[in-house]
Chain A
């Protein structure tokens, strides 16, 4: 127990890790998708804390913003949009549940064996320093001539976001641009797939503005294909 109280990051890791595992269990076990989504949110936040312990502050912020902010809103939005409810007598699990649990246990055992035999102790000297230090050039007065300036570099510590930004825009510029293109393609795909076209029955009951919009869309499509 002494080892835990003397080692605050380890203690935080133990507590947050337990919460994360419990919440992810509940994601799988909950009947209602809204409850699943909320427990998934808790898991994401716990994982963000784990990122901070390993001095990845920027990625933790991105995790909270993108996962907890963006993706979870998308999930909750869709769950509430389609408003699907399981009947009480309807099974939540598929009929292959036993096989699924067996596959999960096998994968876990496989990973467990690999990790246990590997020697993954923290060996790198001062990884925090390397992960959050950037070099900065600045102008200083010349030691002999007061009218001259010389270029010098100095190291700035505790700059994780800056260091990640440097890596992203300098070493990984092309992958970064490809990913932005990928996001554009995903957005267009989601819009095209999710768009609805009115059926014949719906057209009778649909309000005028909706029919008008569908007509306009058809005209645009025809003019584009012509």
Chain B
């Protein structure tokens, strides 16, 4: 670690870098599947539920990471169950937990007497205050995410293309969807420390948005998204240190800037807006090829 030079010569910056890199790598891996399933806002909803979990932890005097993990995993499974059973449409189920989560967070935090500057750490992230225990927990969560995707990634990809086909092929579609929901919940909790619950969805989606423009295959999207995610974390932390900026917000702004640069470059090279814009905005149109 002593080999690090400015701006990573201090231990707190090294810990922030370690936690940030774990999140920068793992979040886009999950985001690539969410974006293709038109579930880009799922991470945002999980972030709101995580806020309730943090507030619950503060109220119960339990480490907020654990309570956030319990809250988000439970909510993720509940949303997926509602969606799969058709009880509520995907976005309506998400909205129920989205608003319920933030409301519960406010109520629980006020009950705990924690509606002060301390709660901002969780809302907007503060990687510079991460402890070794925090980094250890984030790393464990990151390893779980990457290892799980390594095993179920191909099958998840098959469900992205066509869920009915995947069922006929004998793939456990309900289990895979539940796994993706739980992985998203875990990612949100891991990323909470780095960019905060309000910005967590950005690390799930923005690197993927850039990766989809550059890559020419799904494997390529995963690789480019991870590069952009990790690169945004490093660049964001450096910029935050050099110019004394809020690191969570800076990381997200870097990821957004990368997308803007890549999208603009491609637009000028191809003479039109890249198709990924439709995906990110959730307005992807069915493709009708002129040959038909």
Q: Do A and B bind each other?
A: no
